[in-house]
Amino acid sequence: MIDFTAAQIAEITGGRLVADPAIVPSTVVTDSREAVPGSLYVAKPGEHADGHAYVGAAFAAGAVLALCEREVTDDAGAVVPCVVVPDAVLAMGALAKAAVARIRAARAERGEEFTVVGITGSAGKTTTKDLLAGVFRSTPAGSATPAATVAPQGSYNGEVGVPLTVFQAEESTRFLVIEMGATGIGHIQYLADMVKPDIGVVLFVGTAHAGEFGGVENIAKAKGELVEALAPEGTAVINIDDPRVRAMETRTRANLAFFTAQAAGGNEDRTAEFARRGLVVAAQGATVDAAGSPVFDLVVGAEAPVHVRSRLVGIHHTSNLLAAAAAAYAAGVPAARIAASLSSQGPSSRWRMQRTERADGVTVINDAYNANPESMRAALQTLADLGRGRRTWAVLGAMLELGDESIPAHIAVGTLVVRLNIDRLVVVGREARPLYVAAVNEGSWGNETTFVEDAEAAYALLEKELEPGDLVLVKSSNGVGLGLLGDRIALAQQTARPTDVQERS
């Protein structure tokens, strides 16, 4: 963390200082359980609890300063050292903005580069973020050490998560990768103003959170705020396979880098058209290997193709791989190093096509961190492709925050499960019941499709009926909680052998 004194924190946030002005916190936390000696504890109001109630616990763990919306006293009646602000979350943002500016100025004074990359999209943000951070952390030719890179833990991508990511950066940081989520117009503009990205990546515009945004066009408007925020010397990385993202080209002053997973199959002329306006990063001959991992030749501008054999699962990850490649190249990483790093990386964030091979021959793919119609279709297609010759199970929960499109979207998924010839469908929870009804109406019969009320009932069914060789996909929105069900299924055998399963870093 960049060193700020308590007096400087008060000045930056417009707060009132009730503490020794010379206090210098060494880290920032929003959860008192994560406080360590030297912490600045942010007492933000929460959905279920008020952080002010835990100020005492944070100081007992070693916190030296609190960012509060009101004064808090200790057991002796004394006010704890704090900076009192009108809004603790906005104060975090102001402090993060100052930290980025401080890093940029310090590195510029030393003649060192500093690159901030912002990534947004309706899905794929976390995977792309992990891939790009992995490329940046790969060892450059002629160097003994990788570039210092800071990227979010898990999916820290909002008004709290982005500052927490920034606070991990120091003056030695070369690359800062920021994942940007939004649930409304103006959210990404706020985050972009905070971190001032040099490179902005827009993956695709889907129907996730359509209910909150008021429609898909508003989602496109919000995601495009990232490229609008870029300076003329920056680079906008744009997915030309998505018409709504492709249209964002006109909303930026920055240099353009386009990526496409559809370069082959008659689209070469379109690729050439975009190459006249900017860099084009494309996948030639994209397919999947026997493990379901994307394989293709990476073409970056006019450079010779370099081969990529990913360790991710699903052809849909080709776009994420290309997005990471385009951003890395725009940041100055050579194509050969990009390809080598992408080929070495498997899943690094939890519950995103996380594959486990159990000792009894059951394969579990846990993709229950997020779900929308587009990602559901991609995951189910992957299940069908990988499951040839095996019995396949789709354990599906609700897709949340779809608004008026919720019932039609669930009906479409239920229909697709049957048309893909998935052997067994287990629908979990009342919010997903239209999916079950649609599968039955499409022709699923007998015990092919089962509805259960909750994850416990789903686990009991699977524990009883799974057989060696079965392939299981678990997918839902994060709020449904099926990620933990996927973990239980994957670890049901004491001698399970996980493959590419890592805890959130």
- For 101-157, give the DSSP string: HHHHHHHHHTT---EEEEEE-SS-HHHHHHHHHHHHHSPPTT-SSPPPEE--STT--
User: In degrees to the nearest 10, what's the CA dihedral of 144, 147, 150, 155?
Assistant: -90
pLDDT at position 282, please?
Answer: 95
What is the model's pLDDT at position 213?
Answer: 73
Mean pLDDT throughout 359-365? 94
pLDDT band at 154, cuts 50/70/90? confident
pLDDT tens digits, 26-69: 999 999 999 999 999 999 988 788 999 999 999 999 999 999 99
pLDDT tens-digit readout, 279-324: 999 999 999 998 889 999 999 999 999 999 999 999 999 999 999 9
Q: Give me the percent of the chain exceeding a pLDDT of 90.
A: 79
Q: Which of 13-22, 286-295, 489-498 has the highest mean pLDDT?
A: 13-22
Q: CA–CA distance from 234 to each of 180, 257, 483 (Å)?
A: 17, 10, 37
Confidence of residue 271 (pLDDT cuts 50, 70, 90): confident
pLDDT at 83: 98
Torsions phi, psi for 56 (to 5 deg): -60, -40
- In the DSSP assignment, the letter for residue 45 is B
- This prediction has a pTM of 0.86
290 within 8 A of 312, measured Cβ to Cβ: no
pLDDT of 175-224, one tens digit each? 999 999 988 899 999 999 999 999 999 999 987 666 667 788 999 999 99
Q: pLDDT, tens digit, for every residue of 390-416? A: 999 999 999 988 888 899 999 999 999
Q: Do 261 and 284 contact (CB within 8 A), yes or no? A: no
Whether 7 has a pLDDT exceeding 50, the answer reads yes
Lowest mean pLDDT among 88-92, 206-210, 455-459: 206-210
Domains of the chain by start residue, with CATH: 6-86 (3.40.1390.10), 90-344 (3.40.1190.10), 354-498 (3.90.190.20)
Tokens of 306: 């370099």
Q: What is the DSSP letter of 490?
A: H
Q: Is 340 exposed, middle or buried (0-12, 13-18, 19+ CB in 10 A)?
A: middle
Exposed/middle/buried for residue 497 (C-beta within 10 Å: 0-12, 13-18, 19+): exposed
Average pLDDT of the chain, as a whole number: 92
Position 505 scores a pLDDT of 24
State residue 267's pLDDT score. 59
Query: What is the H or E stretch that residue 40 is in?
Result: strand 39-42
Burial of residue 8 (CB within 10 Å: 0-12, 13-18, 19+) is middle
> Between vectors from CA 377 to CA 205 and to CA 258, what angle results, nearest 5°?
40
Helix (H, G, I), strand (E, B) or coil at 72: coil
Assign residue 443 a region: left if phi > 0, alpha if psi is -120 to 50, beta otherwise? Answer: left
Per-residue pLDDT for 495 more than 50? no
pLDDT for res 504: 26
Spatial distance between the Cα atoms of 201 and 118, rounded to a whole number of angstroms: 6
pLDDT bracket for residue 498 (50, 70, 90)? very low
Q: Which of 300, 302, 304 is nearest to 321 (CA)?
A: 300
Contact partners, residue 3, CB within 8 Å, separation at least 6: 24
Please, what's the largest Cα pairwise distance for the chain?
75
Alpha carbon distance 478, 371 (integer Å): 8
The Cα–Cα gap between 281 and 422 comes to 34
Q: How confident is the model at residue 502 (pLDDT cuts 50, 70, 90)?
A: very low
| Structural tokens at position 91 | 């104060």
pLDDT at 120 over 60: yes
Which amino acid is located at 79 in the chain?
V
Q: Helix 187-195 to helix 88-109 angle, to the nearest 10 degrees?
A: 40
